Amino acid sequence: MRDYTIHVIGRRWLNERIFELRFDRPPGFDFQPGQKIGFRFQAATWDYTLLGPTHGPELSICVRHLPEGRFSPRLAAAAPGEPFQIGAASGFFTFKPSPQPAVLVATGTGVAPFVAFARAGVRGFDLLHGVRAAEDLVYGRELAAAARTYRPCLSGPLPATGAPEFFAGRVDACLTQRLSPGMYDFYLCGNGDMIRDVMRLIDERFPDSRVFTETFF
């Protein structure tokens, strides 16, 4: 598989823990919305989803900074022009249109593939995004503009000002209470425990639905 060298262009902090990192795009590099790239570092590979758009001079990723981590601190400190080695884009967690309504479910930075979908022009989906606090809804405005319904699900305290669009609880509880029984195309991305719990719920409440999954952590 071909490797590429990319260079840091810039960094934008989305909150205290999450940032977006931009790179130049090497000649001949192509990808589909929802695919990821693997960074080669210390004999290991670290995967990040490309945010899109699929055409243009830059590549971008969303990173959750873990100070104790092996790789995200390096990305957080990378200077403009610093090179990184990546592999070709890979993965099958891409949008597959069908007559059934699309329901996108994410936790944390697992929302990145759905940002890629939106930037590629996908519209009219239902999106549930589970986070602890409202400040972690880093792409909320962009996704709400593309979605038919956008439901932020907060496991921590709700904002003091109150906001009717927030759901107090986890995404599986929101699905149970807010999504009518039927057949859907489910796209699940994020925490492995969330994916397991939602898969069980789909089997019980939404039989014969299509399900696509990507585990982030």
pLDDT digits (tens, 9 = 90+) for 82-114: 999 999 999 999 999 999 999 999 999 999 999
Find the radius of gyration of the CA atoms of the chain. 17
Same domain assignment for residues 32 and 111 = no
Position 135, amino acid: E
In a shared domain, residues 109 and 185: yes
Report pLDDT digits (tens) over 163-209: 667 899 999 999 999 999 999 999 999 999 999 999 999 999 999 99
The Cα–Cα gap between 21 and 18 comes to 10
User: Residue 178: inside a domain, yes or no?
Assistant: yes
- Alpha-carbon distance of 100 to 123, in angstroms, equals 13
Task: Quote the domain boundaries for residue 35.
Answer: 3-87
Structural domain tally of the chain?
Answer: 2
Residue 95 located in a structural domain = no
Q: In this structure, is residue 44 part of a structural domain?
A: yes
- Local confidence band at 48 (pLDDT 50, 70, 90 cut-offs): very high
Predicted model pTM: 0.95
Q: Binning pLDDT at 50, 70 and 90, where does residue 116 land? A: very high
In a shared domain, residues 122 and 181: yes
